[in-house]
A and B are shown apart, each in its own frame.
Chain A
Amino acid sequence: MSSEQRAPDSPARNPAPPRKATLTFTERFVPPAISVVSVVVVFGLVARVVTSAEHWPRIQLQFFNLEAIIAAFPRVFQGFLINMSVWAVALVAIGIWALLLAVFRSLTGPWFAPLRVFAVVYIDLLRGIPSLLLVLLFGFGVPALQLPGLPRSNLFWGSVAMVLGYAAYAAEVYRSGMEAVHDGQRAAGKALGLTQWQSLRYAILPQAIRNVIPALLNLAVALQKDVALLSVIGVRDAVREAQIYTARTFNYSSLIAAAILFLLATIPMARLTDWVTRRDQERRLQRTV
Chain B
Amino acid sequence: MNRINIENVTKYYGTTLVLDGIDLSVAEHEVVCLIGASGSGKSTLLRCINQLVPFDHGRIYIDGKAIDDESHFGRNGLRKRIGIVFQAYNLFPHMKVLDNITLAPRKVHGVGRAESEERAMELLNLFGMHSFASSYPEQLSGGQQQRVAIVRALATNPEVLLLDEVTAALDPELIAGVLDVIRSLKDNGMTMIIVTHEMSFARDVGDRVCFLEGGRILEQDKPQKLFSGPENPRTRQFLDRIIRAGRL
Contacts and interface: CB of A to CB of B under 8 A. Distances in A.
B191 interface: no
Interface string A1-23: 11110000000000000000000
A187 B90 contact: yes
A194 B94 CA distance: 17
Nearest to A191: B84
B interface secondary structure, majority: loop
A187 B75 contact: no
Given A187-B52, A187-B90, A191-B50, A3 B104 contact: no
Contacts, number: 71
Contact of B107 (A3, A185, A202): A202
A194 B104 contact: yes
Contacts of A206: 94
A192 B94 contact: no
Interface stretch (B128-136, B213-221, B228-236): B128-136
A207 interface: yes
Contacts of B50: 191
A2 B92 contact: no
B139 A2 contact: yes
Nearest to A206: B94
B181 interface: no
Interface in A166-201: 182, 184-185, 187-188, 190-195, 198
Interface residues of A, number: 23
Interface string B54-71: 000000000000000000
B112 interface: no
Interface residues of B, number: 30
Nearest to A283: B138
A286 B134 CA distance: 19
A131 to B, nearest CB: 34
A interface secondary structure, majority: helix
B227 interface: no
B215 to A, nearest CB: 20
B103 interface: yes
Contacts of B84: 191
Contacts of A202: 92, 103, 107
Given A2-B135, A191-B79, A207 B94 contact: yes
A58 interface: no
B37 interface: no
A279 interface: no
7 contacts: A3-B131, A3-B134, A187-B47, A187-B86, A190-B79, A194-B103, A207-B94
In the A-B complex, list the 7 residue pairs whose CB atoms are closest, starting with the nearest.
Answer: A192-B104, A188-B90, A184-B90, A193-B108, A193-B79, A3-B131, A193-B80
